[in-house]
Amino acid sequence: MGKYVLKRLLVAIPTFFGITILVFIISCLAPGSPLELLLADPMATEADRAVLEHQMGLDDPIVVQYFRWLGNMLRGNLGTSYRTNLPVSQMVLERLGPTLLLTVISTVIAILIAVPLGIMSAYKPYSAWDYISSGLSFVGASTPTFFTGLILIYVFSVKLGILPMGGMYDSGTRSILSLMKHLILPAAVLAIFNIGSILRQTRGSMLEVFQEDFIRTARAKGLKERIVIIKHGLRNALIPVVTVLSTMIPFLFGGAVVAEQVFGWPGLGNLMVQSINARDYPAIMGITVVIAVAVLIGNVVVDIVYGFLDPKIREKR
């Protein structure tokens, strides 16, 4: 297992650098420049622009700019934001906690809802329950997160007035109760989007497992149906479900970008949009580093979980 984890980490290293190269090139080639924000004075001349561009190193070739950023990043320096003039590491750390809270809570909610629904749908396939749960999951997965968010805001905030429209805390307070109230709607939006994928995969995997000989043997021994489903069925059906969860990690951060914008949640997604609009290259790259590392570590963790779920996989490693 240790050799396998090391191998996966070694594979993740070039992947990480490939991600940073692509994002850096795309950011630099995008229309606009941070100079437009920094030189807001209408009296500024082209000479002023050229001097500032040289001071910031933006007149160097993209390759030189990238390796300069890379060298600083490897020394633990993510640079200074063009927009706020604050260290990027400080800005990222302040926004990382809210984003992790939102994505983790929404994922847990999605799993707690989708896995039981998938098991029940597979246990009674083609029943009314199966059609209803599958239909609702398809609707949730196919509806854009921003549209779902606007509907929830309209119903629960505008019409019913029981939940806040956005933000992370009520004005003047930072209590746990206030945080939980503000977390409900954005977490629900991300959970609704992810329930469909998890439910469909759980249902399909459980249907295959229910046809296996060891399930019929367990039932023939007189084991309780609950034990047959959970102990013998679910564990063998979890590997494809875990695979789906691993592929969802990038989409979780992508969905968080939209949800954070809709609900004004002060996370990495919100910061990313602000940084892109301002062409704040150091902030964009700092956020990219954090998300890339999170996704790569998540994939390695999923591979380790495979070994615990399936002894055959563990022996091969």
Is 44's pLDDT higher than 70?
Answer: no
pLDDT for the residue numbered 15: 85
Q: Give the per-residue pLDDT at 1.
A: 59
Interval 224-250 mean pLDDT? 76
- Crossing angle for the helix pair 62-74 and 2-29, to the nearest 10 degrees: 140
The DSSP element (H or E) to which 211 belongs, if any, is: none
pLDDT digits (tens, 9 = 90+) for 177-226: 888 999 999 999 988 888 888 888 888 888 888 887 777 887 788 778 77
Burial 158-188 (b: 16+ CB within 10 A, else e): eeeeebbbbebbeeeeeeeebeeebbbbbbb
- Cα distance between residue 203 and residue 118, in whole Å: 4
- Between 34-38, 115-119, 253-257, 310-314, the lowest mean confidence (pLDDT) is in 310-314
Q: With 80 as the cut, is the pLDDT of residue 265 above it?
A: yes
The residue with greater pLDDT, 154 or 141, is: 154
What pLDDT is stored for residue 184 in this prediction?
92
**Euclidean distance between CA atoms 47 and 136, whole angstroms:** 60
Contact by Cβ (8 Å): 209, 237: yes
261-283 mean pLDDT: 87
Report pLDDT digits (tens) over 75-86. 888 888 888 889
State yes or no: pLDDT of 248 exceeds 80: no
Q: How confident is the model at residue 240 (pLDDT cuts 50, 70, 90)?
A: confident
Give residue 186's pLDDT: 92
Q: What is the 3-state secondary structure (H, E, C) of 89-108?
A: HHHHHHHHHHHHHHHHHHHH
Write down the mean pLDDT value for the chain. Answer: 82
Neighbour count for residue 126 (Cβ, 10 Å): 9
Q: Is the pLDDT of residue 252 over 80?
A: no
Name the residue with higher pLDDT: 41 or 227. Answer: 227
Mean pLDDT of 293-303: 79
At residue 272, φ and ψ (nearest 5 deg) are -65, -45
pLDDT at 47 over 60: yes
Backbone angles phi, psi at 126, to 5 degrees: 60, 20
In this prediction, residue 187 carries a pLDDT of 92
| Range 109-137 average pLDDT | 86
Q: What is the pLDDT of residue 232?
A: 72
pLDDT at residue 310, as a whole number: 62
Is 70 exceeded by the pLDDT of residue 313? Answer: no
- The mean pLDDT of 13-24, rounded to a whole number, is 88
* Residues in contact with 92: Cβ distance below 8 Å, sequence separation at least 6, in sequence order: 78, 268, 271, 283, 286, 287, 290
Asked if the model's pLDDT at residue 52 lies above 80, the reply is: no
